[in-house]
Homo-oligomer: A and B are copies of this chain.
Amino acid sequence: MRRFAAYLLCFTLVMLPLHAADAPTLRGYSAESSRVQRQWEEKFRAIPEPGNLRDYMRRLSARPHHVGSPYDKDNAEWIAAKAREWGLDATIESFDVLFPTPKERLLEMTEPTRYHAKIEEPAVAGDPTSGQKSEQLPVYNAYSIDGDVTGPLVYVNYGVPADYEQLDRLGISVKGAIVIARYGGSWRGIKPKVAAEHGAIGCLIYSDPRDDGYQQGDIFPAGPMRPPDGAQRGSVMDMPVYPGDPLTPGIGATRNAKRLALKDVTTLTKIPVMPISYGDAQPLLQALKGPLAPAAWRGALPITYHVGPGATRVHLKLAFNWDIKPLYDVIVRIPGSTYPDEWIIRGNHHDAWVNGAEDPISGMAPEMEEMRALGALLKQGWKPKRTIIYCAWDGEEPGLLGSTEWAEAHAAELKQKAAVYINSDGNGRGVLEAEGSHTLELFINTVAREIQDPEANVPVWTRLRDARLTNPETTNRGELRSRADLRIGALGSGSDYTAFLDHLGIASLNLGFGGEDRGGIYHSIYDDFYWYTHFSDTKFVYGRALAQLAGTAVIRLAGADLLPFDFDGFTDTVRRYIDEVEALARDRRQQTIERNRMIDDGVYAAADDPRHPLAPPPREAVPPVLNFAPLENGYAALERTAQAYSKALAQAAENGGSELARVSLRDVNARLIAVERALTLSDGLPQRPWFENQIYAPGFYTGYGVKTLPAVRESIEQKQWKLADEEIVRVGKVLENAGEAIDGATAALTRPAR
């Protein structure tokens, strides 16, 4: 098998400089086109300059630039102007979206003592932008509803469903209460959603110092972590239902688009919700009585954590300006020379909650430097075969607005033409963080072997493998050493790939570096140039590595004769997902049987501590044995067709790829793109039709966290057994469809062009 031979070769050569002349042939290229491509790539990678990244960051994060702010528009125009300066075709596409901002924010404890929450992040001496008070958005959660509620306070840990099961066993109800949850354990928007499902009337979300405050390191400005009055802004829109403008689900929020009435929107919260600092949280948590919080719920505040409520009552009043605001997506196009209707799309957002040096500018700056480099290559005569589209998205922070509206507005054309979407969203110092479609796992491994790590003097691929090898929690060192490719994680949500991958079925990657520096400034006024240049990639060398990595991926995809999708790695991954859902169903069944037996035998009652009572869990019907045969049959089709494609590709690649000249590459490429679309169903996931991808989705109760084979996995998790049986059939059919699509590509690859 050519592929493995090539990789073994690659592996033994990683420490040597790979010169274009002696490097192995790139997948999807002939020997000759590969040689030429490698020369362009080497030129490309020599261009990005850390000093430029620093300049872009300083400029783009100089003032607060959230949706609707003057500097947000100014940044978009500046990015477009720079692209034009570099010789590129840049336009700004605008959308009009619902973007609420605070009109009134009040939080006070009224009993047993009075405490008036500050909800205010103070300026820090020495950090010049932290004092730009007049332009900063206050601390709030976007898409919380208005509300004026008073009630007892209950601490709900992360506020995920399992936490409420624990509260039930502790005999604590949140009905009519305001809950206080800590950040973490789920995406923030899940917390008010689950709280409302359990009858809560309001929700506070605070940053515990155990998670990103003093327990993790020195606090800002002495260190990178969250200071006592720092708070995390953020969207609480119900994005697992649909992201983007709440008023225009499924369509672009153009000026004259048909909009929902505010009252008909389903993605606003059901209860008012506000984020607070640990400075504001401590008096509230300290006042709670009731059961001692379970050990895993306790944070790092110097208090005894109780669940509540006791006599503690809080008053939360929130009112918002429910305005429509304009978005400014910057769209930069480089037309393809051979396949102009096959698109390689690259994006990072430019809007921030406040100054946003790390989030998003540390990713935006490298993306700009990629544009500059591509402009330079074009001037030297480089011609990408495919159309390249660089995007600087607006409105990511409130709810992936800019990317979603653009994807929805251009859905038909994107479904037809988009081959790959490559995203980034901030960047830091450390190891490669690559997630995405497993049809691209082999491809991004190849690229990662050719990018040098600026600290470790080895390829970023090697460093990632070595970081995994040294991780004490790693259990698969054998596979890490023997498998040709490092596994990449699946994508959930939380950034702009969502509409491309989950809604349209476009193979996507999310790239970046990180893991070495912790930070506690996320979505606060302290995420700024001062913080980033003191505590993160201060020399911008990982910024350069990201530009090299993502840019190489873009031009290699754009220059390939044949799109380098790989179905063997994808099949291998799907096998793991199927094993997981089968084990999940089996475990749930066994756990229910075991638990019911313990309930029936009085085991919980006998073991209970009457001074700290914990009720038995509720008795549940034993889950049926599910029929996974349809999924297994779908898998069998996928496995068989993937192997056949690999064999055909290996044959076509023999003799320097001369066979490729005889087939219609356009036809093969179109069919390869179609494989990815075959992973979608137009009616989407149960109760959330916008999410069409049947392999990857953000979890309905995790928000950002991915659920693979989501329809099957979530119906099991949610104990919907009949639905699970139905979804197994549907997803099995999807795998068969994908197999047919792969067979189509194989046939095209083995059929001489007409």
Partner-B contacts on A (CB < 8 A): 209, 214-219, 223, 225, 292, 298, 300-305, 429-431, 453, 455-456, 458, 462-463, 466-467, 469-470, 477, 516-517, 594, 598, 601-612
Determine if B214 and A466 form an interchain contact, defined as CB atoms under 8 angstroms apart. no
Minimum Cβ distance to chain B for residue A588 (Å): 16
A216 and B304 alpha carbons, distance in the complex (Å): 7
Chain B hits for A431, CB < 8 A: 607
A637 and B598 alpha carbons, distance in the complex (Å): 40
**Known contacts A217-B304, A470-B603, A477-B594; 20 further A-B pairs (Cβ under 8 A):** A214-B303, A214-B304, A217-B292, A218-B304, A219-B304, A300-B300, A302-B302, A429-B609, A431-B607, A456-B605, A456-B606, A456-B607, A456-B608, A466-B602, A466-B603, A467-B606, A467-B607, A469-B603, A469-B607, A470-B607
Minimum Cβ distance to chain B for residue A536 (Å): 10
Determine if B604 and A470 form an interchain contact, defined as CB atoms under 8 angstroms apart. yes
A19 and B612 alpha carbons, distance in the complex (Å): 34
Given A516-B612, A603-B469, A604-B470: A301 and B304 within 8 A (CB)? no
Chain B hits for A429, CB < 8 A: 609, 611
Given A611-B429, A611-B517: A606 and B215 within 8 A (CB)? no
Chain B hits for A609, CB < 8 A: 429-430, 455, 516
Given A610-B455, A612-B516: A598 and B209 within 8 A (CB)? no
A601 and B14 alpha carbons, distance in the complex (Å): 13
Chain B hits for A300, CB < 8 A: 298, 300, 302
- What are 23 pairs between A and B in contact, CB < 8 Å? A214-B303, A214-B304, A215-B304, A215-B305, A219-B304, A301-B302, A430-B609, A431-B607, A453-B606, A456-B606, A458-B602, A463-B606, A466-B598, A466-B601, A466-B603, A466-B604, A466-B607, A469-B598, A470-B598, A470-B603, A470-B604, A470-B607, A516-B609
A301 and B303 alpha carbons, distance in the complex (Å): 10
Chain B hits for A301, CB < 8 A: 302
Chain B hits for A601, CB < 8 A: 466
A609 and B223 alpha carbons, distance in the complex (Å): 17
A407 and B517 alpha carbons, distance in the complex (Å): 58
Chain B hits for A517, CB < 8 A: 611
A516 and B614 alpha carbons, distance in the complex (Å): 12
Look across to chain B and name the residue whose beta carbon is closest to the beta carbon of A464. Answer: B607
Closest 7 pairs (CB-CB, A-B) = A466-B606, A302-B302, A466-B603, A466-B607, A467-B607, A516-B609, A470-B607
Look across to chain B and name the residue whose beta carbon is closest to the beta carbon of A477. Answer: B594
A604 and B605 alpha carbons, distance in the complex (Å): 51
Look across to chain B and name the residue whose beta carbon is closest to the beta carbon of A429. Answer: B611
Look across to chain B and name the residue whose beta carbon is closest to the beta carbon of A518. Answer: B292
Most B CB within 10 A of own CB, among A218, A470, A516 = A470
Look across to chain B and name the residue whose beta carbon is closest to the beta carbon of A214. Answer: B304
